Amino acid sequence: MPIYTLRTTVGRERTVLDSLDAKLTNNSKGIKSMLSPAELKGYIFIEGSEEDIRKATQGVPHIKGLINKPIKIEELSNFFSQEVKEITIKEGDVVEVVGGPFKREKAKIVRIDEAKREAKIELVESAVPIPITIKLDLLKSTREI
């Protein structure tokens, strides 16, 4: 089954997917699947015949158009695989928080949960040590104590 690319308004991909899903729930016809990768804003990939996709997308808001040329599944393979980074920090390390409400704060790692990819930290510069659970992606290693 061919995969076609649907152009949408940037930031409205989820709205378009929800609208199409609601429209196709009763009458799915020839559409097999839909994908909206977070890394590729303004595009949705739909597996199905071109005619069925055109009928399903008719009247749905925030759709800019359908690209007539089908794409191969191999071109989408990088959106399906998730690269897991190796955890380089350990308990006792001093890290810098690079995102969230504690951005640019220094913290000490108390515990690491590898399964959830989270760490429990205590802010270095706070008067009272309060344990905070934060995703490892939001931490940058600086030095050890």
pLDDT digit string, tens, across residues 70-117: 999 888 888 777 666 788 888 999 999 999 899 999 999 999 998 888
Domain span(s) for CATH 2.30.30.30 in the chain: 93-144
Q: Which amino acid type is present at position 77?
A: S
Contacts of 51 (CB under 8 A, 6+ apart): 30
Contacts of 143 (CB under 8 A, 6+ apart): 93, 94
Angle (nearest 5°) at CA 42 between 40 and 48 = 90
pLDDT digit string, tens, across residues 47-76: 999 999 999 899 999 999 999 999 998 888
Domain span(s) for CATH 3.30.70.940 in the chain: 3-80
13-28 burial, b for 16+ CB within 10 Å, e for fewer? beebbebbeebbeeee
The domain defined by 3-80 folds into: Alpha-Beta Plaits (3.30.70)
- Provide CATH code, domain 93-144: 2.30.30.30
pLDDT digit string, tens, across residues 12-55: 999 999 999 988 887 767 889 999 988 889 999 999 999 999 99
User: Beta-carbon neighbour count of residue 107 at 10 Å?
Assistant: 24
